[in-house]
């Protein structure tokens, strides 16, 4: 009976759906996290009577035919890149992107990765780095004698040096945007990599047309809605149970056949 394998594909699909929802819930408090959504496609159809085929030698055709679906499969896990809320931290090296754009991070292998998590720190040499010690591009160094750090919405980094009245600019943050944010490859640690699906990045200073601005002393929270995720979780659980019921019904029907005398 086809319903046995069809029900199994439905259970596997809902299991994947629960996996995605669980990851969203687990990252509710992850800075800059973007929630995922599982997308599904129906599988191939088996034609028992092909629609549009000739039903007689006088030219009549079958108006609807008989097509039996063979189940469902996971087509994609789509990442939703909508803006998260801004949480005020009052930390001078906490930066949030308000709008489009990603901070650029130089990896140890020389590749450039991208992140929305602006919880930066300072290396022993005074460079602005990620919590894992990766350099934020373009490299910005804070002098050891700096008494305060200020980052404006256009990404300009100003410091006040001990013994000087006027602040001094020591660097400029840049943001990168992509034609297709959903095509970025997540590599963990709040980092993304460019792929052929994302398109090539375009870099510019914050505040330019098509680019967001920077808010100092704040972090972008995840865009996970707890109520929505719990609702989706309950729906996926019920769908899983219903698919298991179809397998159970098919099994009982087969048992009835085997018990015929």
| CA separation for the pair 222, 172 (Å, rounded) | 26
Are 22 and 71 contained in the same domain? Answer: yes
Structural domain containing residue 26: 2-81+224-258
Residue 147 pLDDT? 86
Choice between 3 and 10, residue whose per-residue pLDDT is larger: 10
pLDDT reported for residue 18: 95
Count up the domains in the chain and report the number. Answer: 2
Residues 133, 156: one domain? yes
Tens of pLDDT, residues 69-118: 888 998 989 899 889 999 999 898 999 999 999 999 999 898 999 999 98
The pLDDT confidence band at residue 261, using thresholds 50, 70 and 90, is low
Residues 47 and 133 in one domain: no
pTM above 0.85, yes or no: no
pLDDT in tens, 172-228: 999 999 999 989 999 888 999 999 999 999 999 999 988 999 999 999 999 999 999
Q: Judge if 155 and 189 occupy the same domain.
A: yes
Answer yes or no: do 183 and 253 share one domain: no
Residues 200 and 93 in one domain: yes
pLDDT at 46: 79
**Hey, which bits of the chain come out as E strands?**
36-42, 45-49, 66-69, 72-79, 86-88, 95-98, 102-106, 112-115, 121-122, 128-129, 135-137, 146-151, 156-161, 168-172, 175-177, 185-188, 191-193, 202-204, 213-216, 218-220
Average pLDDT over the chain reads 89
């Amino acid at each position: 009976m086809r319903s046995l394998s069809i029900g199994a594909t439905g259970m596997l699909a809902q299991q994947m759906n629960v996996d995605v929802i669980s990851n969203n819930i687990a990252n509710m408090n992850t800075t800059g996290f973007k929630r995922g959504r599982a997308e599904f496609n129906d599988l191939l159809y088996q034609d028992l009577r092909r629609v549009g085929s000739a039903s007689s030698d006088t030219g009549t055709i079958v108006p609807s035919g008989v097509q039996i679906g063979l189940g469902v499969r996971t087509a994609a896990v789509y990442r939703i890149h909508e803006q998260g809320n801004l949480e005020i931290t009052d930390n001078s090296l906490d930066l949030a992107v308000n709008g489009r754009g990603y901070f650029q991070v130089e990896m140890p292998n020389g590749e450039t990765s991208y992140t929305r998590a602006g919880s930066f720190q300072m290396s022993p040499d005074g460079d602005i780095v990620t919590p894992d010690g990766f350099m934020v591009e373009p490299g910005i160094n804070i002098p050891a004698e700096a008494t305060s750090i200020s980052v404006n919405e256009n990404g300009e980094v100003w410091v006040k040096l001990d013994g000087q009245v006027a602040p001094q600019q020591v660097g400029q943050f840049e943001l990168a945007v992509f034609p297709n944010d959903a095509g970025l490859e997540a590599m963990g640690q709040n980092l993304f990599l460019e792929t052929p699906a994302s398109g090539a990045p375009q870099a510019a200073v914050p505040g330019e047309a098509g680019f967001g601005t920077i808010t100092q002393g704040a972090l972008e929270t995840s865009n996970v809605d707890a109520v929505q995720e719990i609702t989706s979780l309950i729906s996926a659980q019920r769908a899983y149970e219903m698919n298991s019921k179809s397998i159970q019904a098919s099994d009982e029907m087969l048992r009835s056949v085997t018990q015929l005398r």
